[in-house]
């Protein structure tokens, strides 16, 4: 059975019957708008991401379940970067009429599994026919106390630059996929990223970061976004970059410039944040009880621009600046 034979309302009903009810939802899928109840005293946070077949994903690389999980994970990562608690989301799909219903069911299964993992409810969206491949758009809503929300504009000279997890694995995984590799740690990091939701929320509620962003476009590009909002400059120490053992073993075999994967590869969905030096001990304590880790990789300065430096003092030069749509 394909989507065309199911019809628009049959498609909506098929998804709606699988969407679990959650706290704060007065009315979800089935009316002209969802009716939601944010917690008293909190501000609502909203983020949206669109994924296009042939631009953001290749259906020959991913399973439907992986695509469903990743589609929501990239939004959850944005919410984590604000220090917010994710609550509800809207799903909009542009589907070729010949799309297979089994593919859709598996996609929704992956997406709802990710939603259940993070206590998020699907409350509505939209569907339409697409003549240009699969289009996925998710709008995620969350909340946080106004004084706890973390923005990009708070970094100050002298602040330490920190990042969670490891860098470059996703970009390495994409290179492997393009060469026919279909499994392994790096491939999994690319196809099935883990949003740092708990880390972002706990950092914010402890008041530790001065600025924060998720690493989606690449470390240097996303650090540049913080500097655009905060002013100043930054120095990144290349020998401090957190690189997995798999990356260290395999990246040099596939890439003449493996550091470009870690500095500009993108889609790691780690948290990049700055903090005052006297708060690093607090961050260490916070991460001591987590599966992920945090690493200091540099410092904010007043010079302007970003320098990435080797231990010798030599500056890293590369034409790779991170992902850009246009």
- Domain assignments of the chain as residue spans, ordered by start: 3-148, 160-309
Q: Does residue 326 have a pLDDT over 50?
A: no
The chain-wide mean pLDDT, for the chain, equals: 92
Under CATH, to which class is 3-148 assigned? alpha beta
Question: Same fold for the domain at 3-148 and the one at 160-309?
Answer: no
Q: Does residue 320 have a pLDDT over 60?
A: no
Both tokens assigned to 91: 């799903």
Answer yes or no: pTM beyond 0.75.
yes
Return the pLDDT at 323.
Answer: 52
Q: Does residue 325 have a pLDDT over 70?
A: no
Give percent of the chain above pLDDT 70.
94
113 or 23: whose pLDDT is higher? 113
Superfamily of domain 160-309: PurM-like C-terminal domain (3.90.650.10)
Helices and strands per DSSP (H, E), number in the chain: 11, 12
321 or 55: whose pLDDT is higher? 55
Q: Does residue 39 have a pLDDT over 90?
A: no
What value does the mean pLDDT take over residues 56-66? 96
Q: Does residue 322 have a pLDDT over 60?
A: no
Backbone phi, then psi, for 183, in 5-degree steps? -155, 170
């Amino acid at each position: 059975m394909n989507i065309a034979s199911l019809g628009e309302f049959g498609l909506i009903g098929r998804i709606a019957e699988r969407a679990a009810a959650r706290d704060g939802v007065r009315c979800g899928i089935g009316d002209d708008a969802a009716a939601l109840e944010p917690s008293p005293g909190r501000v609502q946070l909203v983020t949206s991401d669109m994924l296009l077949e042939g631009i953001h994903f290749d259906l020959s690389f991913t399973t439907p379940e992986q695509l469903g999980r990743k589609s929501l994970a990239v939004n959850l990562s944005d919410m984590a970067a604000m220090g917010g608690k994710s609550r509800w989301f809207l799903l909009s799909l542009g589907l070729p009429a010949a799309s297979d219903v089994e593919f859709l069911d598996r996609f929704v299964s992956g997406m709802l599994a990710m939603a259940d993992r993070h206590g998020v409810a699907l409350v509505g969206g939209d569907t339409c026919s697409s003549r240009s491949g699969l289009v996925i758009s998710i709008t995620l809503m969350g909340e946080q106390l106004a004084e706890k929300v973390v923005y990009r504009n708070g970094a100050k000279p002298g602040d330490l630059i920190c990042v969670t997890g490891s860098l470059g694995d996703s970009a390495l995984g994409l290179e492997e996929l393009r060469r026919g590799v279909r499994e392994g740690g790096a491939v999994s990091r690319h196809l099935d990223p883990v949003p740092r939701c708990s880390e972002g929320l706990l950092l914010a509620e402890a008041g530790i970061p001065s600025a924060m962003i998720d690493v989606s476009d690449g470390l240097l590009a996303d650090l540049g976004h913080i500097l655009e909002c905060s002013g100043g400059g930054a120095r990144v120490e290349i020998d401090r970059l957190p690189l997995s053992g798999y990356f260290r073993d395999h990246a040099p075999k596939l890439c003449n410039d493996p550091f470009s994967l870690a500095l500009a590869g993108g889609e790691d969905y780690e948290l990049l944040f700055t903090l005052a030096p006297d708060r690093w001990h607090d961050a260490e304590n916070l991460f001591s009880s987590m599966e992920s880790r945090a690493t200091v990789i540099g410092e904010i300065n007043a010079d302007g621009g970003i320098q990435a430096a080797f231990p010798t003092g030599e500056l890293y030069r590369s034409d790779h600046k991170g992902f850009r749509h246009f």
